[in-house]
Chain A
């Protein structure tokens, strides 16, 4: 019955293009031709446009909003303010973190560029003229910029709306500007370990406010079909189903009357997880006008108002014995969340998974405290290409272990070997509450050190130092925690963080696969097809992957936190296995043998002991619609919802080598070697691309990305003139490598990789920069490592003389 029996087993496997194949990305054919379909490409009949009047001040009372002149601008159709939204209950919206956020400023503004009014008009020019013509009268208020002053007794109170509340969604708070206090670990035992320690170190380590700055800014087209009562919103959503549920909760519209569509999305990196005033206002404007309304952010709007990342002010401490073996960790964090608590973490985790701060090391005891505060800055606190607050945690531990090495005079690679969790300790229970599923850290670091000739680099560094030249070697051996997550401890607005996959196999041997995730450039159309190809024996080229339309995709929690492969990828494999189980029954019927007499081989079931008797998957697909066993339902379709039993723990060993110009402070990254272990590798080329992109972002973060404010809360440099997006000229050359330690609990052993390079890359850069100055006693240098900051260190040390 086989039509491809002349092919060898290897040829058949190659034909599948399944797991392990470096096939080209299917979606790139349209992307590189400029044929993608992004939100701003969507044009609906009668569509009008909207844009915001934004606050010039960081903190001010709104005395009046005069819209008369704006309404007189030809083409302007409406100007919506908080007063107009109030009767609909839409002037404030709930956040994913249990707080509320103003949709349009209600009586006061809390940050510069905050949305004050929404102007709707026939075209973008009319709207822009209308925005200019709205006259807002403000009374300035004292501004709170520095989070370290937020909890002072005399600090200006920012949120009168919640002033009396002792809880804004994430536990008790102790000051009107306080959002939450979160702690984990054993304080008593940690204090005792520090008291008894031979060596302790303590460093203030800041992670500045930066922004995910995806290439495509946020936007939407909202279209209310009044006749049928259906609201359709096309938008830049990383999590379309969550948006549908949130829209339903906010508007009271029944969820079946809401359709959310994420078309092609031009990068997200966490920026497109949450709900923004633009979505609400476009929807409200569409309801009011009866016309589709498009809202697209400008670059400056994106950088200055939609979700930022980091802004963690950390104090980290390690206790150790004389050999550098860590005996305890302590971390105290002040988290600046801006004007509203709109961070996007699983709800029970106000500081995300920051308690992964023990990293790759066997730390007996630890204690972590995090306090979140309001400031007069844009709200956010999302995970910028990392799992929830994991990059902050990894940065802290990787910096601290370097500082410890310097303090006791042990080599920075050696101190890691002395502290690694050993391969035989997995599954490993960390002192701060995680069960690490798998890992082999010593093997990864050994491979990395050999690859870069670490000994040779250290020799060269010594020779250069003797000549007054600055060369630094940075190591980062990070561990991530991704794949949120098990529904027992992870939810967003009460929704368990499972994910889903539906597979429909067609009679002629092709299939469509739909998932609850949403690719923003990760290559889901390619990699998920490969998982299904291997599991059901149909070529990946014959498998279409579709995401992003809530009318067709099964419910899922979306794509962020490297969760797509660990969660939706697992759902893919489990759904495919259900398909294969039914296929086996059909094969038994076709071959007239018992089900148990069959064995699976690449793309077919064959009869054990009679290899020439086989039914290919292609044959079975047709039979599923034409020739079924007695009593079996026709068709070959299934859906799987996957609730992961645990997180996955990708890890890596990175080495960065920098040369620093001692007259200008400019840093040249001479070499960057990245070894990633993401478990089973689905598509090595896609992984390599992910690592390249993540490292480029890590480089940008370490070397230049910072959202800066002046003392009045004015946001400085919110454009790509100042906000550092490296070009190919600045971006270093990356060397990639891997080890493979499959996840024991994931159906195919995969762990996720998209964010590892950001988590591991940033500390590798900083460690290299600081290492260049270690001989002069420097323990830490603040990010970003701009030339002028580095030069200041050089100048203070007199190294430029």
Chain B
């Protein structure tokens, strides 16, 4: 549980960080909260030669609303998300999910950017970002670009982020007032990754569902956006039949591995159950105003 040796860099700006990334290529690794990277280094499963610590970069912090988007700096911590009045009022799904990540001490260190960019299927925020149609702002040597969360994840630790790119900001279209959302996570204990988890974001036009997004955590090689589940809900009153159909479609896409959280069959069933609970809760919240 002792890491190998590495060089430590603490850039003061995004430009400087991007330059370092360009310089070191695959030998460099971004250190944000460190709660995924450092355990991997202590096990020597990760052996970066250069750590680029972005915690000194002021422009990566902060949570604000601009141009119809909620803009969250990549280095904002889960604790920052939990403390934000703006998010509590406009997008309560984010603090709801943040509160289910790890424990309070870790949430003071762990960042939103690290959680979404790391590519670990066990991380909770990728599914939440997919459900909210978030966009990731990336910066590399060639400049800035945007990638939709729904297009970002290719597989386990395999994302659209290039080796020389830095995630700088998460941009979420501010959800319309009256929307309903929920993140339901089943876990063995505080701090655990999900046995299965699901996010649902719904809006209603009268008593009919106008839009629906359903996503899953930790039941595949990456977070899963279940387009078909949303389709099963739109236009319905989100009654038991529609919910059952949406959950069945979610289960059809779930492909978890068997692990100590349970056999694949069980984890698939729990993906369905969490989807059911997320959809029902989101619908109730939407209807409750």
Q: Is the CB of B260 within 8 A of A125?
A: no
With A722-B260, A791-B266 as known contacts, state yes or no: A125 contacts B188, CB within 8 Å: no
Interface status of B270 (Cβ within 8 A of chain A): yes
B195: chain A residues within 8 A (beta carbon) = 787-788
Q: Which bracket fits the contact residues of A?
A: 20 to 34
Q: Number of B residues contacting the other chain (C-beta, 8 Å)? A: 24
B263: chain A residues within 8 A (beta carbon) = 788
Interface status of B57 (Cβ within 8 A of chain A): no
CA distance A6 to B263 in the complex (A): 73
Question: Min CB distance, A302 to chain B, in Å?
Answer: 11
A722: chain B residues within 8 A (beta carbon) = 260
**Could you say which of B5, B189, B193, B270 contacts A727, with CB atoms under 8 Å apart?**
B189
- Contact string against B for A residues 123-136, beta-carbon threshold 8 Å, 1 for contact and 0 otherwise: 01101110010000
Question: Min CB distance, B264 to chain A, in Å?
Answer: 10
CA distance A124 to B269 in the complex (A): 45
CB proximity to A under 8 Å, residues B220-274: 260-263, 266-267, 269-270, 273
Q: Is the CB of B44 within 8 A of A132?
A: yes
**Inter-chain residue pair count (beta carbon < 8 A):** 58
A664: chain B residues within 8 A (beta carbon) = 186, 270, 273
A544: chain B residues within 8 A (beta carbon) = none
With A125-B2, A664-B186 as known contacts, state yes or no: A788 contacts B44, CB within 8 Å: no
Interface status of A721 (Cβ within 8 A of chain B): yes
Interface status of A724 (Cβ within 8 A of chain B): yes
B193: chain A residues within 8 A (beta carbon) = 721
**Could you say which of B1, B190, B273 contacts A298, with CB atoms under 8 Å apart?**
B1
Interface status of B103 (Cβ within 8 A of chain A): yes
Q: Is the CB of B269 within 8 A of A791?
A: yes
Interface status of B191 (Cβ within 8 A of chain A): yes
Q: Is the CB of B273 within 8 A of A663?
A: yes
Interface status of B205 (Cβ within 8 A of chain A): no
CA distance A441 to B191 in the complex (A): 41
Interface status of B141 (Cβ within 8 A of chain A): no
**Could you say which of A124, A125, A663, A788 contacts B262, with CB atoms under 8 Å apart?**
A788
**Could you say which of A129, A298, A724 contacts B189, with CB atoms under 8 Å apart?**
A724
**Chain B residue with the shortest CB-CB distance to A720:** B191
Q: Is the CB of A727 within 8 A of B103?
A: yes
With A663-B273, A787-B195 as known contacts, state yes or no: A300 contacts B189, CB within 8 Å: no
Interface status of A716 (Cβ within 8 A of chain B): yes
A729: chain B residues within 8 A (beta carbon) = 189-190
Question: Min CB distance, A774 to chain B, in Å?
Answer: 23
Question: Min CB distance, A210 to chain B, in Å?
Answer: 13
Q: Is the CB of B190 within 8 A of A787?
A: no
CA distance A686 to B189 in the complex (A): 28
A128: chain B residues within 8 A (beta carbon) = 2-4
CA distance A132 to B1 in the complex (A): 11
Question: Min CB distance, B67 to chain A, in Å?
Answer: 39
Interface status of A299 (Cβ within 8 A of chain B): yes
**Could you say which of B3, B4, B188, B266 contacts A792, with CB atoms under 8 Å apart?**
B266
CA distance A725 to B189 in the complex (A): 9
Q: Is the CB of A132 within 8 A of B4?
A: yes
Interface status of B192 (Cβ within 8 A of chain A): yes
Interface status of A612 (Cβ within 8 A of chain B): no
CA distance A724 to B263 in the complex (A): 18
CA distance A724 to B188 in the complex (A): 8
CB proximity to A under 8 Å, residues B3-45: 3-5, 44
B5: chain A residues within 8 A (beta carbon) = 125, 129
CA distance A261 to B170 in the complex (A): 55
With A300-B1, A791-B269 as known contacts, state yes or no: A727 contacts B191, CB within 8 Å: yes
B186: chain A residues within 8 A (beta carbon) = 664, 666, 787
Q: Is the CB of B188 within 8 A of A787?
A: yes
B262: chain A residues within 8 A (beta carbon) = 786-788, 791
**Chain A residue with the shortest CB-CB distance to B262:** A788
B273: chain A residues within 8 A (beta carbon) = 663-664
CA distance A665 to B44 in the complex (A): 36
CA distance A518 to B192 in the complex (A): 35
A724: chain B residues within 8 A (beta carbon) = 188-189
B269: chain A residues within 8 A (beta carbon) = 791, 795
CA distance A730 to B188 in the complex (A): 9
Question: Min CB distance, B121 to chain A, in Å?
Answer: 15
Interface status of A704 (Cβ within 8 A of chain B): yes
Interface status of A708 (Cβ within 8 A of chain B): yes
CA distance A666 to B4 in the complex (A): 41
CB proximity to A under 8 Å, residues B131-189: 186, 188-189
CA distance A300 to B5 in the complex (A): 21
B266: chain A residues within 8 A (beta carbon) = 665, 788, 791-792
Q: Is the CB of B1 within 8 A of A299?
A: yes
A795: chain B residues within 8 A (beta carbon) = 269
CB proximity to B under 8 Å, residues A273-312: 298-300
CB proximity to B under 8 Å, residues A109-157: 124-125, 127-129, 132
Interface status of A747 (Cβ within 8 A of chain B): no
Question: Min CB distance, B51 to chain A, in Å?
Answer: 15
**Chain A residue with the shortest CB-CB distance to B258:** A788
- Contact string against B for A residues 324-354, beta-carbon threshold 8 Å, 1 for contact and 0 otherwise: 0000000000000000000000000000000
- Contact string against B for A residues 690-718, beta-carbon threshold 8 Å, 1 for contact and 0 otherwise: 00000000000000100010000000110
Question: Min CB distance, A697 to chain B, in Å?
Answer: 15
CA distance A223 to B26 in the complex (A): 44
A300: chain B residues within 8 A (beta carbon) = 1
Q: Is the CB of B4 within 8 A of A721?
A: no
Question: Min CB distance, B196 to chain A, in Å?
Answer: 9
- Contact string against B for A residues 656-685, beta-carbon threshold 8 Å, 1 for contact and 0 otherwise: 000000011110000000000000000000
Question: Min CB distance, B39 to chain A, in Å?
Answer: 9
CA distance A717 to B188 in the complex (A): 13
CA distance A663 to B244 in the complex (A): 14
Interface status of A185 (Cβ within 8 A of chain B): no
Interface status of A509 (Cβ within 8 A of chain B): no
CB proximity to B under 8 Å, residues A770-801: 786-788, 791-792, 795
B261: chain A residues within 8 A (beta carbon) = 788
A364: chain B residues within 8 A (beta carbon) = none
Interface status of A20 (Cβ within 8 A of chain B): no
CA distance A127 to B1 in the complex (A): 11
**Chain B residue with the shortest CB-CB distance to A129:** B4
Q: Is the CB of B270 within 8 A of A716?
A: no
Q: Is the CB of B189 within 8 A of A124?
A: no
A717: chain B residues within 8 A (beta carbon) = 260
Question: Min CB distance, A752 to chain B, in Å?
Answer: 31
**Chain B residue with the shortest CB-CB distance to A123:** B2
CA distance A721 to B261 in the complex (A): 11
Question: Min CB distance, A526 to chain B, in Å?
Answer: 30
**Chain B residue with the shortest CB-CB distance to A700:** B189
B189: chain A residues within 8 A (beta carbon) = 704, 724-727, 729-730
Question: Min CB distance, B3 to chain A, in Å?
Answer: 8
Question: Min CB distance, B278 to chain A, in Å?
Answer: 13
- Contact string against A for B residues 191-215, beta-carbon threshold 8 Å, 1 for contact and 0 otherwise: 1110100000000000000000000
Question: Min CB distance, B254 to chain A, in Å?
Answer: 15
Question: Min CB distance, B246 to chain A, in Å?
Answer: 16
- Contact string against A for B residues 71-83, beta-carbon threshold 8 Å, 1 for contact and 0 otherwise: 0000000000000
A721: chain B residues within 8 A (beta carbon) = 191-193
Question: Min CB distance, B159 to chain A, in Å?
Answer: 23
A788: chain B residues within 8 A (beta carbon) = 195, 261-263, 266-267
CA distance A125 to B261 in the complex (A): 34
Question: Min CB distance, A227 to chain B, in Å?
Answer: 33
A124: chain B residues within 8 A (beta carbon) = 2
Q: List 15 A-B contacts (CB under 8 A).
A: A125-B5, A128-B2, A128-B3, A129-B5, A132-B4, A298-B1, A299-B1, A717-B260, A724-B189, A727-B103, A727-B189, A729-B189, A788-B266, A788-B267, A791-B269
Further contacts, 13 of them, CB under 8 A, given A724-B188, A788-B267: A128-B3, A128-B4, A298-B1, A664-B186, A704-B189, A716-B260, A722-B260, A727-B103, A786-B188, A787-B262, A788-B195, A788-B266, A792-B266
List 5 tightest A-B contacts by C-beta distance, closest first: A788-B262, A128-B2, A788-B266, A298-B1, A727-B190
